[in-house]
């Protein structure tokens, strides 16, 4: 799934705005779009519009008002707004996604006859009006729900993480992201988990990794992944020279059931996960989601991608994004010239006030 174009009418600061994300030579959606502009020019609003429409169409948002993004109020852009709003997004799908979505739906139809077989169109136009998202037909709208079909299949199929390699959805990351704002299991809303819960998750990843490395687990089952190893690799791509040490017992707590610290190493010093820098905290939820959800074929929205990062790390993060998954589209906002220097000029869209 990728976005080819976005048309905004009476949406926040935009009266009538068309944004084209396609390559003029191929007509296909570009893999990277950088939105640049002054504060207040509407960069974040564009990401919010995409998140609202794709989030609802894919089933990640039950309703538009579920979009939890500071600065977005569905009452001000929906049926209750003073001026009617229309958002239109042209979305493209690869042949592999289309085939996988139909296959998944057929498997689910064996369990529930009410499932509607989706269309097989390569390009679908999604529209939002009066806080409702629709396409030219219900079959086209159901074509966007491949990710949700995969989640349901996981309940009674053994493919595990592997099933998510074939289809995509939409993920978004606001400027308020922190190390503990992770994508929840049942919705795309971010959940703020405590540092202790995060340590617990990472410690379980590490335990499985060490069991596998030590030979106590001989082979990965179909669909299983070494999440600790993959997360550490992704972390090292963005922060060269840094690595995970893993769980460490706390000195001041007795008992085998006591909570553990989780340590990292920056090449010189060891530090606990609660001591991560602002830049690490801004990037961590993105890396965690990519590993935890096996993200491919998806639209990834990132607001202020350079948040808390020095110029070399800004550029390192951009380069690392393409290695995190296959066939993803990144639509990002930034103010930094350092980001603009490594993104192709034809992938940069300047948003004027």
The whole-number average pLDDT for the span 43-49 is 95
Q: What is the per-residue pLDDT for 252? A: 63
Residue 80 has pLDDT above 80, yes or no: no
Query: What does the pLDDT read at residue 312?
Result: 82
Q: What is the 3-state secondary structure (H, E, C) of the chain?
A: CEEEEEEEEEECCEEEEEEECECCCCCCECCEEEEECCCCCCHHHHHHHHHHHHHHHHCCCCCHHHCCCCCCCHHHHCCCCCCCCEEEEEEECCHHHHHHHHHHHHHHHCCCCCCCCCCCCCEEEEEEECCEEECCCHHHHHHHHHHHHHHHHCCCCCCHHHHHHCCCCEEEECCCCCCCEEECCCCCCEEECCHHHHHHHHHHHHHHHHHHHCCCCCCCCCCCCCHHHHHHHHHHHHCCCCEEEEEEECCCCCCCCCCEEEEEECCCCEEEHHHCCHHHHHHHHHHHHHHHHCCCCCEEEECCCCCCCCHHHHHHHHHHHCCCCCCCEEEEEECCHHHHHHCCHHHEEECCC
Q: Where residue 108 falls among pLDDT bands split at 50, 70, 90?
A: confident
| In the predicted structure, residue 255 carries a pLDDT above the cut 70 | no
pLDDT band at 119 (very low <50, low <70, confident <90, very high): very high
% of the chain residues with pLDDT over 70: 92
Give the Cα separation of 61 and 109 in Å (integer): 23
Question: What is the pLDDT averaged over residues 117-122?
Answer: 92
More confident residue, 107 or 44: 44
Mean pLDDT of 319-331: 90
Confidence of residue 216 (pLDDT cuts 50, 70, 90): confident
121-132 confidence digits (pLDDT tens): 999 999 999 889
Q: Is the pLDDT of residue 26 over 90?
A: yes
Query: Would you state the pLDDT for residue 81?
Result: 65
Give the chain's mean pLDDT.
87
Confidence at 158, pLDDT banded by 50, 70, 90: low
At 98, the pLDDT band (50, 70, 90 cuts) reads very high
State percent of the chain over pLDDT 90. Answer: 44
Q: pLDDT, tens digit, for every residue of 165-205? A: 889 999 999 988 877 777 766 555 566 667 888 888 899 99
pLDDT on residue 221: 74
pLDDT at 186: 59
Mean pLDDT of 319-342: 89
Greater confidence, 317 or 186? 317
Question: What value does the mean pLDDT take over residues 147-159?
Answer: 79
- Pick the more confident residue, 253 or 245: 245
> Which pLDDT band holds residue 52 (cuts at 50, 70, 90)?
very high
2-191+283-350: which CATH topology?
A: Rossmann fold (3.40.50)
Give yes or no for residue 151 having a pLDDT over 60.
yes
pLDDT of residue 311: 83
Residue 51 has pLDDT above 90, yes or no: yes
């Amino acid at each position: 799934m990728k976005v080819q174009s976005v048309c905004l009418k009476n949406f926040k600061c935009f009266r009538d705005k068309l944004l084209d994300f396609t390559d003029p030579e191929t007509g296909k959606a570009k893999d990277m779009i950088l939105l640049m502009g002054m504060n207040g020019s509407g960069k974040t609003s564009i990401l919010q519009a995409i998140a609202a429409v794709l989030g609802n169409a894919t089933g990640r948002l039950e309703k538009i008002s579920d979009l939890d993004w500071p600065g977005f109020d569905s009452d001000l852009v929906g049926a209750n707004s003073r001026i009617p709003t229309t958002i239109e997004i042209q979305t493209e799908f690869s042949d592999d996604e289309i085939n996988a979505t139909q296959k998944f739906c057929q498997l689910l139809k064996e369990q529930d006859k009410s499932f509607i077989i989706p269309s097989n169109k390569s390009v679908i136009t999604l529209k939002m009006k009066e806080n409702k998202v629709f396409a030219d037909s219900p079959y086209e709208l159901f074509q966007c729900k491949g990710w949700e079909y995969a989640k349901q299949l996981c309940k009674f199929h053994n493919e595990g993480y592997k099933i998510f390699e074939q289809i995509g959805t939409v993920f978004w990351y606001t400027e308020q992201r922190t190390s503990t704002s992770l994508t929840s299991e049942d919705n795309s809303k971010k959940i703020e988990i405590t540092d202790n819960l995060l340590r617990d998750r990472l410690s379980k990843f590490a335990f499985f990794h060490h069991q596998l490395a030590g030979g106590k687990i001989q082979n990965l089952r179909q669909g299983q992944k070494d999440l600790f190893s993959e997360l550490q690799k992704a972390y090292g791509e963005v922060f060269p020279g840094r690595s995970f040490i893993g769980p460490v017992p706390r000195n001041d707590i007795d008992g085998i059931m006591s909570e553990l610290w989780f340590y990292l190493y920056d090449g010189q010093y060891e530090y606990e996960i609660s001591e991560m820098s602002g830049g690490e905290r801004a990037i961590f939820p993105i890396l965690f989601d990519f590993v935890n959800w096996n993200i491919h074929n998806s639209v990834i929205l990132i607001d202020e991608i350079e948040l808390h990062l020095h110029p070399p790390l800004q550029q390192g993060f951009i380069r690392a994004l393409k290695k995190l998954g296959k066939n993803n589209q990144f639509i990002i906002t930034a103010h930094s010239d350092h980001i603009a220097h490594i993104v192709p000029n034809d992938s940069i869209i300047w948003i004027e006030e």
